[in-house]
Chain A
């Protein structure tokens, strides 16, 4: 009860934030009612998925300051658990998703224990390495379809099927992921005020001081890593049902890991709204640039060039992200 109250309590934000956030939430809720193209709908779903990924990353990467560039492996674990269980044993999404989370969290404990002995660059590169190892394993593992991947056939599982999360129209997927999105925000709102959240910020500021205050630094990091993993794995499971065709290359590649970290960083790591702002800017930009410049003008790669330039400018000139700019402006006004 206390937890729920804390999760619903946004009162420490300025009123302007709450008004903007509230009106955006209403906009998201009524978005399907407005006339929209299927492209806009797909972009919205991508946006919600990546904000959830970003929120997960934000726990360990933003509040904890541990740059994790291997989140894609947990997207893969979630997606593959759901798909394999559905295709092989006909186990619906709502049962396989928690199982996928369990697998991902277990794996995160196995990896997290040695990983968190490392710091800084060493940690970041080691997370990449673990993610790539898992991807290489999945690419030769026949049980999960090797490099071809697995397909959820719409003939075998006729839509609409809420239990298995197989729909024809994107609107239903939108509703489901929007639900996850709101739950995610409430969880993050609780998390940032929880004991673990404060411990993490202490660790980020100064690890030695945190340890001297009696915080079990190693264990706090591992716990947070597991939370981040659970977030990513849930969305991974959703991704499998939404895309219906998964392969190691597009669920577990390094690009996904980096994109996840980028969402949170661009928006402002270590703040509640950061990942959402980041995803809200990067995802539409990415899909529309790809549509206009890549497909229409026939310039392959130019969308990613612009994308890379944005990353470079942000990281060089405003490393605290867009939320950092907002706060700077606010502080100047006061």
Chain B
């Protein structure tokens, strides 16, 4: 029972953080119908920012979030005006390969600057601490804090999109671009804002993740695919969709944990032979494929 519970809890906590990773992707897609392959690389930039700021200034990793957010916002804006703006004129193939080029660029720039070795945080207020939340479930403090902050970020973004004037303009651009332009909304600037907001949310997620996940230049692709799966499940362009789909994908990634539970419960020896941990990410890809084929709109999506 403890195994089941701890798998469930760790899946949900991971899911909350992954939802924040996917949030940026879904904002960008919702506003301008472009799939950002460099999304995982933005996350990697956030992870390095968090790590280097914490180590360089000697402050707690959790205090680096504003720095990471600012870096991500700038990165998003620069990418938009320097590159994405030109891509939008071209066909879809060019957009896909263009953001793929951006991904390759950022990844190898990181490789050139930081080298290929794994780096991890070893010091910090919460790093390495964990506590018992009852019923034998042990949760690491960093994951709990990351999940909590991720929920806070989600609430902030939701309020921004639905309660502020500029956020409503962003939503309007996502719903109908030309109608928004007739209403006097500067859609060009809204695009840039979407990239800034998307970049900021994903780098903040990166600065949270680096608390419990080591970083190397090649980490991006995995998170890009996870984010795609979440966005597909939740519906391209939907913020609440990303939240709930993040939880589901977190649980999917915890399948090896559930597998262990069933193995011990039913005492099934054959189950031990299946190398479940190697399949950890395969389930995410498979989930993406199945979701896309069965329900391309996703759970909450309005676009198809």
Contacts and interface: CB of A to CB of B under 8 A. Distances in A.
A292 to B, nearest CB: 15
Interface string A213-225: 0000000000000
A114 B289 CA distance: 9
A305 B285 contact: no
Given A118-B296, A301-B111, A315 B104 contact: no
B35 A265 contact: no
A136 B289 contact: no
Given A117-B293, A118-B296, A136-B282, A301 B108 contact: yes
Nearest to A142: B275
A140 B279 contact: yes
B258 interface: no
B263 interface: no
B94 A121 contact: no
Interface in A106-126: 114-115, 117-118, 120-122, 124-126
A242 B143 CA distance: 47
Contact of B101 (A120, A128, A311, A317): A311
B161 interface: no
A319 B98 CA distance: 9
A118 B293 CA distance: 7
A258 B221 CA distance: 13
B271 interface: no
Given A136-B281, A305-B105, A315-B94, A125 B86 contact: no
A308 B94 CA distance: 13
A67 interface: yes
A319 B93 contact: yes
Nearest to A255: B104
B176 interface: no
A69 interface: yes
Contact of A315 (B98, B116, B288, B292): B98
Interface residues of A, number: 45
A69 B95 CA distance: 13
Nearest to B281: A136
Interface residues of B, number: 45
Nearest to B101: A311
Given A67-B93, A140-B275, A308 B104 contact: yes
B102 interface: yes
Nearest to A303: B108
A129 B225 contact: yes
Given A117-B293, A125-B228, A319-B90, A311 B97 contact: yes
Contacts of A120: 92
A319 B292 contact: no
Given A254-B221, A308-B108, A317-B86, A126 B97 contact: no
B108 A302 contact: yes
A128 to B, nearest CB: 7
Interface in A202-258: 254, 258
Chain A binding surface SS class: helix
Given A133-B286, A315-B90, A265 B97 contact: yes
A261 interface: yes
B293 A114 contact: yes
B96 A124 contact: yes
Contacts of A139: 278
Given A124-B96, A319-B93, A136 B101 contact: no
A21 interface: no
A300 B217 CA distance: 12
A138 to B, nearest CB: 11
Given A136-B279, A139-B278, A61 B108 contact: no
Q: Which of B105, B115, B221, B229 has the most CB of A within 10 A?
A: B105
A121 B104 contact: no
Residue of B86, B97, B109 ringed by the most chain A CB atoms within 10 A = B97
Nearest to A261: B97
A169 B86 CA distance: 47
B296 A319 contact: no
Given A301-B108, A311-B104, A125 B278 contact: no
B97 A258 contact: yes
A305 B282 contact: no
B279 A307 contact: no
A316 B87 contact: yes
Interface in A66-81: 67, 69
B112 interface: yes
B112 A301 contact: yes
14 contacts: A65-B93, A121-B33, A128-B225, A132-B285, A261-B93, A265-B94, A300-B116, A301-B112, A304-B104, A305-B105, A308-B101, A312-B101, A315-B90, A315-B94
Interface of B: 33, 35, 83, 86-87, 90-98, 100-105, 107-109, 111-112, 115-116, 217, 221, 225, 228-229, 232, 275, 278-279, 281-282, 285-286, 288-289, 292-293, 296
Interface of A: 61, 65, 67, 69, 114-115, 117-118, 120-122, 124-126, 128-130, 132-133, 136-137, 139-140, 254, 258, 261-262, 265, 269, 299-302, 304-305, 307-312, 315-317, 319
Closest 9 CB pairs of A and B: A311-B101, A319-B94, A315-B98, A319-B90, A308-B105, A301-B111, A308-B104, A316-B86, A301-B108
Given A67-B96, A114-B289, A311-B100, 4 more contacts: A67-B93, A122-B296, A304-B111, A312-B105
